[in-house]
Amino acid sequence: MDFFEKTLRQTDIYTGRIIHVHVDDVELPNGSTSVREVVEHPGGVSVAALTPANELIFVRQFRYPYHKILLELPAGKLEPGEDPFEAMKREQLEETGTTGENYISLGEVYPTGGYCGEIIRLWACRVTEENHQLHLDEDEFLTPERIPLDKAVEMVCSNEIPDAKTQIGILKTAALVQKGLL
């Protein structure tokens, strides 16, 4: 069966600093119609930065939609036309004060495919330089934190880390380390 849905009409609802929202009328594969609500997002990047002591560098920050402080891998939004790999290295330096080597792509994550087009690109690396000053955005408040990789895996399995990109980054990094690839 062909599952493709054809867009019949798009109605713009909201354009903000980060997202654009539209409602689309679509034709379904069986010929009937439906409505799709879509959030367009420029995409993001994240890095699992692993220290020589096999600790991952995380950030703790308040996430307004959940009204909670979350533990996450360093991450950020892509700027228009920005190369994702360079954006990831920029975010790593800004949020952790570190740089790395042996960057390995962990692929892409579609965090909420039911309504949002955001794609997060993930990498892992070995930290080579530390102690650079953090360069946070003026509306960004976070604290870097180091956690041993094995402990981070346990935290994912015990539901202590709810963030999807962080769970995936931790588990893929652990698999690479186990295979001797990182």
Marked catalytic residue, from 40, 82, 91, 138: 138
The residue behind tokens 């409602």 is 23
Residue range 4-58, pLDDT digits in tens = 999 999 999 999 999 999 999 999 999 999 999 999 999 999 999 999 999 999 9
The burial of 12, by beta-carbon neighbours within 10 Å (0-12 exposed, 13-18 middle, 19 or more buried), is given as exposed
In the chain, DSSP assigns E strands to 6-15, 20-27, 33-40, 44-50, 55-63, 68-72, 75-77, 99-109, 120-129, 142-148
Task: Give me the pLDDT at residue 180, please.
Answer: 96
Please give the model's pTM, rounded to 2 decimal places: 0.92
The burial of 179, by beta-carbon neighbours within 10 Å (0-12 exposed, 13-18 middle, 19 or more buried), is given as exposed
Task: Give me the pLDDT at residue 134, please.
Answer: 81
Task: Give me the pLDDT at residue 114, please.
Answer: 95
Order the strands of the 6-15 sheet from edge to edge.
6-15, 20-27, 33-40
Task: Give me the pLDDT at residue 157, please.
Answer: 98
Within 10 A of 57 (CB to CB), how many other CB atoms are there?
Answer: 23
Q: Is 138 a catalytic residue?
A: yes
pLDDT at 175 > cutoff 80: yes
Residue range 115-164, pLDDT digits in tens = 999 999 999 999 999 877 788 778 888 999 999 999 999 999 999 999 99
Task: Give me the pLDDT at residue 31, please.
Answer: 95
- The alpha helices in 139-182, defined as continuous H runs, are 149-157, 164-178
Our measurement of the distance from residue 66's CA atom to the centroid of its chain's CA atoms, rounded to an integer in Å, reads: 16
